[in-house]
Amino acid sequence: MSGKPKLYYFNGRGKMESIRWLLAAAGVEFEEEFLETREQYEKLLQGGSLLFQQVPMVEIDGMRMVQTRAILSYIAAKYNLYGKDLKERALIDMYVGGTDDLMGFIMMFPFLSAEDKEKQHAFIVQKATSRYFPAYEKVLKDHGQDFLVGNSFSWADVHLLEAILMVEEKKSDVLAGFPQLQAFKARISNIPTIKKFLEPGSQRKPVPDDKYVETVRRVLRMYYDVKAN
């Protein structure tokens, strides 16, 4: 294994994108191996690299880690993005969990049938504006600090910014009624490591397209349509 973390996934967002975000936020350079064929995937399976027979998989510090949440928790703890004590860590976990729920609705979107996409689009915007964004707006207002937890940059901030930008891709003015989140987005986007990741040419992946969907379906042998919420 090389000194840099190595990420094994498709050349697209999916479950790996939050790992890319967190490594980038920590200022950590990483390498990627993109899965493009079923044979690549089966080689990982046969080599015993995928404990639960699924990706994402990350090689880091002599380990081959699977399970997205475990990978993210390890990176957050390693690079001091996981709070200063147990209470802060619990809050970070809680906020990340909520953001995960919202991001899950968006992550499945490219795999929906054409007729389901319109329905899911409305569902995403409705959930963001009625459940998740009001919660974070209140957290930021009540907390009165620049960040979600304590007064330091954490995994929770990275995850929320990623989610905000994903929802804005569905509805560009979605933060119109959320002044705290507007200010939060501006602050976090200007943190140097985040700003660099948001610039063209970074390892941040674009909105999933048909090529990405076709590759995932082929490699994982997904012969069914995902259902909308």
pTM of the model: 0.95
One domain for residues 127 and 147: yes
One domain for residues 69 and 91: no
- When computed from its CA atoms, the radius of gyration of the chain, rounded to whole angstroms, is 18
Query: Which domain CATH number covers 180?
Result: 1.20.1050.10
CA distance 185 to 211: 30
CA distance 99 to 54: 22
> 228 lies in a domain?
no
Sign of CA dihedral 42, 43, 47, 49: negative
> 91 lies in a domain?
yes
Q: What φ, ψ does residue 158 adopt, rounded to 5°? A: -60, -45
> 183 lies in a domain?
yes
pLDDT tens-digit profile, the chain (229 residues): 458 999 999 999 999 999 999 999 999 999 999 999 999 999 999 999 999 999 999 999 999 999 999 999 999 999 999 999 999 999 999 999 999 999 999 999 999 988 899 999 999 999 999 999 999 999 999 999 999 999 999 999 999 999 999 999 999 999 999 999 999 999 999 999 999 999 999 999 999 999 999 999 999 998 656 666 6
Query: Which domain CATH number covers 17?
Result: 3.40.30.10
One domain for residues 61 and 116: no
> Which pair of tokens denotes residue 181?
């989140």
One domain for residues 52 and 137: no
CA distance 117 to 123: 10
For residue 64, the surrounding DSSP H or E stretch is strand 63-66
Q: How many domains does the chain have?
A: 2
> 227 lies in a domain?
no
CA distance 152 to 146: 8
One domain for residues 183 and 134: yes
> 229 lies in a domain?
no
Domain span at residue 28 reads 6-79+199-220
> 225 lies in a domain?
no
One domain for residues 34 and 15: yes
Q: Tell me the residue type at 144.
A: G
